[in-house]
A and B are shown apart, each in its own frame.
Chain A
Amino acid sequence: MIDDRQIIERCLSGEKEAFRFLVERYQKQAVGHSLTILGNREDASDATQEAFVDAFQALKSFDAARRFYPWFYVLLRNRCFKLINKRRVAENIENAEILAPQSGVSNEERIALERALRELSKEEREIVTLKYLDGFSYDEIAGLLEIPRGTVMSRLFHARKNLQAKLTGKFH
């Protein structure tokens, strides 16, 4: 399989079509991340599309020593927040499906958790899902959100605390 760096080199050498490989490789993940912030499928697709266009235009500044997706995530996040400011779509996430159904996890548990996640602020929802759904390390999250590691630890603490408080009401 052609790797991200080769694709970027081909794009930079003028082969714009090669960018398709990056879009197809990361679009589902990116829409999933946008959905966690925006809570609306259509807005998530729009923001992701804009972010990919931004990424294409900024490929020259991409540091080949880095991985593509964390670099792209910063652009994606910026696009999501721009859209929130523009459309004021921030807290309207009643219908967002953040979690995927899967075997071994009861629907009741997933739905309760999903509702609790929706009640968190977008910043808390974002950080807690980056950590526990995507498995990013503290340092990686610090890079994605452009904040110090200590702030990641502190935000995660408050996000967990709020999540637990919301869950207490859902399970009892």
Chain B
Amino acid sequence: MENMNCEDFIIQKFALLDGENADISASEINAHFETCENCRREIEPLESASLLLQRQKRSEPQADLWTAIGKRIGAKSKAVFTVGWQPFAVVGALLVVYKLFEMIPERDLGWALKIVPFVIVAALFGFLKENPFKINTELIPEK
């Protein structure tokens, strides 16, 4: 710390302002700023420039690079997220069991029983990590 100059202290102060760990303690940094008017004067406009930038958002231009990249790496035209038949078979079996259970006379468990199919289907969508209410905007018409 003995060899630190004002620039080093400002760099360390910025680490604190940026929510990062500084190389020296906050109390050592603040003690320097209390006694150094030059540092106080210098950091203020730098801080406002940073805050100004923080309020902005990076421009992300539209891009569609897959066609060219796909050709270059030798990929076929379309990738499909495939799920095996097993989860659907399990859900189908569970729904059949539910229906059979429901058909047993004098087995009315009220609303608790009625929500079982919804729970099963919701669990399936949860497993597939898919949102059933999502509108697919990437549909491509069949040729």
Residues of A within 8 A of B (CB): 1-2, 15-21, 23-24, 27-33, 35-36, 41, 44-45, 48-49, 52-53, 56-57, 97-100, 102, 104-105, 109-110, 113, 128-129, 131-134, 137-138, 150, 153-154, 156-157, 160-161, 163-164, 167-168
Contacts and interface: CB of A to CB of B under 8 A. Distances in A.
Given A53-B73, A157-B11, A32 B65 contact: no
Contact of B69 (A15, A44, A49, A99): A49
B143 interface: no
Contact of A133 (B10, B23, B57, B77): B57
Interface of A is mostly: helix
Contact of A24 (B15, B59, B66, B75): B66
Chain B interface: which size bin? 35 or more
B58 A160 contact: no
Given A31-B65, A132-B54, A153-B11, 5 more contacts: A30-B63, A99-B58, A160-B46, A163-B53, A164-B48
A105 B60 contact: no
B59 A35 contact: yes
11 contacts: A17-B80, A19-B70, A20-B70, A27-B65, A53-B69, A97-B59, A132-B56, A153-B14, A156-B14, A157-B14, A160-B14
A105 B66 CA distance: 33
Contacts of A31: 60-61, 63, 65
A15 B60 CA distance: 28
A102 B57 contact: yes
Interface in B71-88: 72-81
A19 B14 contact: no
A35 B73 contact: no
B114 to A, nearest CB: 31
Nearest to B55: A105
B72 A53 contact: yes
B45 interface: yes
A20 B68 contact: no
B102 interface: no
B63 A48 contact: yes
Nearest to A7: B79
A110 B59 contact: no
B62 interface: yes
Contact of A164 (B45, B54, B59): B45
B112 interface: no
A156 B10 CA distance: 11
B52 interface: yes
B5 to A, nearest CB: 12
A23 B18 CA distance: 31
Nearest to A10: B79
A151 to B, nearest CB: 11
A108 to B, nearest CB: 12
B59 A19 contact: no
